[in-house]
Amino acid sequence: MAELQKISPEMTTYLLEAKPEKWARPFFPTKRYNILTSNIAESINAAIVHARELPITSLIEAIREMLQRWFSTRKEAAINQFVEVTKWANDEMEIKLYVAFRMKVDAIDAMKSSVTYGDRVFVVDLEQHMCTSNEFQLEGIPCAHAIATIESKYLDKYKFCSNWYKNSVLKETYA
């Protein structure tokens, strides 16, 4: 918001007056897959640009070969991954871990904590996989506040990831 304030004070004022549910993804009441992900048709279209002028049977064969190559590469990567979660999720949590070390954690109970970062305070509930930042719930992997709490309680951060980030699920997908 501070960066936006420098660029457009009017827009900042407008957004602050509007409810965050209208413009901030973490506060939207449901997942908005239709606007959060790339259009798969456009992605495939870009990947097969070289084959689009081929006869239909050759085009289908080119698509089959491309998908087979992608799936084989991803399956091999999943097999060679030795942590409990996908490489992407692991990399994201490592970045968040670096930030988490700068946070102050005060236990509320065995699974809840109050986490202070700068002048903001967040409440993390590990049992419910929730943080008042809404990032934990939105992404399905622990946010930096949750990781700070997890580390303070000497727990395994991988246990708090949603199943769709589990390496075992990835391996089953490409089996």
Q: Token pair of 139, please? A: 């992404």
| Statement to judge: residues 155 and 105 lie in one domain | yes
| Statement to judge: residues 117 and 168 lie in one domain | yes
pTM: 0.66
| Statement to judge: residues 99 and 113 lie in one domain | yes
pLDDT cut 90: percent of the chain above it? 49
What is the number of structural domains in the chain? 3
| Statement to judge: residues 114 and 75 lie in one domain | no
More confident residue, 49 or 125: 125
| Statement to judge: residues 26 and 47 lie in one domain | no
Domain span at 30: 2-34
| Statement to judge: residues 143 and 92 lie in one domain | yes
As a whole number of Å, the end-to-end CA separation of the chain is 45
Is 2 exposed, middle or buried, given 0-12, 13-18 or 19+ CB atoms closer than 10 A?
exposed
Helix 87-100 to helix 144-152 angle (10° resolution) is: 70
| Statement to judge: residues 92 and 168 lie in one domain | yes
- CA distances to 72, 86, 116, 167 from 150, in Å: 35, 19, 14, 20
More confident residue, 151 or 10: 151
| Statement to judge: residues 120 and 155 lie in one domain | yes
* Average pLDDT over every residue of 31-50: 69
How far apart, in whole angstroms, are the C-alpha atoms of residue 100 and residue 131?
14
The rounded mean pLDDT for the chain is 87
Query: In which element (H, E) is residue 34 found?
Result: helix 33-36
pLDDT at 31: 58
Supply the DSSP symbol for 165.
G
| Statement to judge: residues 47 and 23 lie in one domain | no
pLDDT at 34: 45
pLDDT cut 70: percent of the chain above it? 92
pLDDT at 33: 47
| Statement to judge: residues 93 and 137 lie in one domain | yes
| Statement to judge: residues 67 and 100 lie in one domain | no
| Statement to judge: residues 122 and 154 lie in one domain | yes
